């Protein structure tokens, strides 16, 4: 594995080289000037598997260097290092991720061996979880997938932070593509919305989730099943009737269904959304405001729409315990949810530190990889047993 270091500080270059060599990276090339590093990459973009880059450098700075990496379609891993304050470092990290660079982490100088080891650990992780990543699909293919039973619901557990009890699951759809394998929703939900297929898709996902809720209910598992709905579902006035009909057919109480609506989607036609959402509530179906913090809903809308649950977006959750600015935003969201009488859920709970923080902050429910990844319905009962055992030893 070849590593490239770019830093105008010679001492840092030496120190980081030594750390990397100690970790077993034998092949480390160090440069004081980003322009020299770019020249090397111009000759061969694939010459390096990992780059550690400083942000504050005279001449070409770290942000300009990142831009060059994008131009050269650098496909290796990137670690940002800087003595700048944490927020600048985070912004640069976000920028790199937005450019779809493979960013392993952002480290504040002076970098400790433990910190470096921690971010590099992820580099050993198997990549390409989604073999189909980056592929695009046609309307015809998706339409066929919807009618041809190629969509499959995965379920991710939601757990009460105080009791540890599994209270429900969120339904997350995947496409089992005959050639590409499992395709993630980010690759086809947008397409479904743009091409008018989202209504059919939601209906398939919702019906499947309700049938599954019934199977769990018959097996003695009382789980609230959440289903994501798109704004485009909230423009057909018969949507509440359709949902109520499906709930009836499944034979589960309406209170066991939660519809998750993304905050930003509420804006496009507030009155229509208000009409439909109010009727859903009259039918005793619960509503959750999803991705909270990422949209622009006004406080008045929050007040007017009778949401039962507020889901703080994952971008405000992971790492909240050690990041004061995240914490401020998280606390504000939580406080707002509570004062409006909503249950609060944090998604994107990735480690024990996140869990402990949320628990002490008084958040009601947690969801995230720390608890479990989305799974097939059949795996859930076994997982619950394992979780209960794990939770007992917390």
Q: Which residues bind ligand C2E (CB under 6 A)?
A: 156, 172-173, 184-186, 189, 202, 205, 228-230, 290-291, 314, 347-350, 368-369, 374
Task: With beta carbons less than 8 A apart as the criterion, state whether 281 and 287 touch.
Answer: yes
Residue 32 or 350 having the CB closest to ligand C2E: 350
Q: Per DSSP, which regions of the chain are E strands?
A: 2-6, 27-31, 50-54, 77-82, 102-108, 151-160, 166-177, 181-183, 224-229, 257-262, 286-292, 309-312, 343-347, 365-367, 375-376
Residue 45 or 195 having the CB closest to ligand C2E: 195
Among 295, 216, 275, CA closest to 251: 216
Residue 64 or 194 having the CB closest to ligand C2E: 194
Where does this chain touch Ca ion (CB under 5 A) — which range of 4-12, 194-202, 255-263, 363-371?
Answer: 255-263
Residue 20 or 257 having the CB closest to Ca ion: 257
Q: Which residue's beta carbon is nearest to the bound ligand C2E? A: 368
Q: Which does 156 bind (CB under 5 to 8 A by kind): ligand C2E, Ca ion, none?
A: ligand C2E
263 touches Ca ion by CB under 5 A: no
290 touches Ca ion by CB under 5 A: yes
Q: Which does 368 bind (CB under 5 to 8 A by kind): Ca ion, ligand C2E, none?
A: ligand C2E
Residue 62 or 208 having the CB closest to ligand C2E: 208
Q: Which does 331 bind (CB under 5 to 8 A by kind): ligand C2E, Ca ion, none?
A: none
CA pair distance 339, 292, nearest whole angstrom? 15
Question: Which residues are within 8 A (CB) of 203 and not within 5 positions of it... i.e. 6 or more apart?
Answer: 242, 246
CA pair distance 84, 325, nearest whole angstrom? 16
CA pair distance 299, 289, nearest whole angstrom? 13
Question: Which residues are within 8 A (CB) of 211 and not within 5 positions of it... i.e. 6 or more apart?
Answer: 250
Residue 120 or 258 having the CB closest to Ca ion: 258
Contact positions with Ca ion (CB under 5 A) in 312-331 = 313
Q: Which does 172 bind (CB under 5 to 8 A by kind): Ca ion, ligand C2E, none?
A: ligand C2E
CA distances from 345 to 206, 220, 226, 246, 364 (A): 21, 24, 12, 26, 6
- Minimum separation from the CB atom of position 308 to Ca ion (A): 14
- Minimum separation from the CB atom of position 315 to ligand C2E (A): 9
- How is residue 377 written in tokens? 């319905």
- Minimum separation from the CB atom of position 207 to ligand C2E (A): 11
């Amino acid at each position: 594995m070849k590593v490239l270091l770019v830093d105008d500080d010679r001492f840092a270059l030496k120190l980081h080289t030594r750390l990397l060599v100690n970790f077993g990276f034998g092949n480390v090339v160090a440069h004081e000037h980003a322009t020299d590093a770019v020249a090397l990459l111009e000759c061969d973009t694939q010459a390096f598997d990992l780059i550690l880059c400083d942000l504050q450098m005279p001449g070409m700075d770290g942000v300009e260097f990142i831009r060059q990496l994008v131009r050269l379609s650098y496909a290796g891993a990137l670690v940002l290092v800087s003595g700048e304050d944490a927020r600048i470092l985070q912004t640069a990290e976000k920028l790199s991720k937005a450019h779809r660079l493979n960013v392993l982490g952002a480290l504040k100088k002076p970098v400790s061996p433990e910190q470096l080891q921690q971010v590099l650990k992820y580099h050993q992780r198997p990549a390409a979880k989604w073999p189909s990543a980056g592929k695009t699909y046609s309307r015809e293919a998706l339409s066929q997938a919807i009618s041809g039973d190629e969509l499959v619901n995965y379920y991710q557990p939601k757990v009460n932070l105080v009791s540890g009890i599994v209270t429900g699951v969120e339904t997350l759809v995947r496409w089992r593509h005959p050639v590409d394998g499992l395709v993630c929703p980010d690759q086809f939900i947008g397409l479904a919305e743009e091409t008018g297929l989202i209504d059919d898709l939601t209906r398939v996902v919702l019906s499947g989730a309700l049938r599954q809720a019934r199977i769990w209910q018959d097996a003695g598992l009382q789980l609230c099943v959440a289903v994501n709905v798109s704004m485009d579902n909230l423009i057909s006035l018969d949507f509440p009737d359709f949902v109520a009909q499906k709930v009836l057919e499944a034979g589960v109480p309406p209170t066991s269904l939660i519809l998750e609506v993304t905050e930003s989607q509420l804006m496009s036609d507030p009155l229509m959304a208000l009409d439909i959402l109010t009727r859903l509530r009259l039918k005793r179906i619960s509503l959750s405001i999803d991705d909270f913090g990422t949209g622009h809903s006004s406080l008045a809308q929050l007040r007017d729409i009778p949401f039962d649950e507020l889901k703080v977006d994952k971008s405000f959750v992971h790492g909240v315990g050690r990041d004061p600015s995240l914490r401020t935003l998280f606390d504000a969201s939580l406080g707002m949810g509570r004062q409006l009488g909503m249950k609060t859920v944090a998604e994107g709970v990735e480690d024990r530190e996140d869990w402990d923080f949320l628990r002490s902050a008084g958040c009601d429910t947690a969801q995230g990889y720390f608890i479990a990844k989305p799974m097939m319905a059949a795996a859930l009962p076994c997982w619950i047993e394992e979780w209960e055992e794990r939770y007992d030893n917390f």
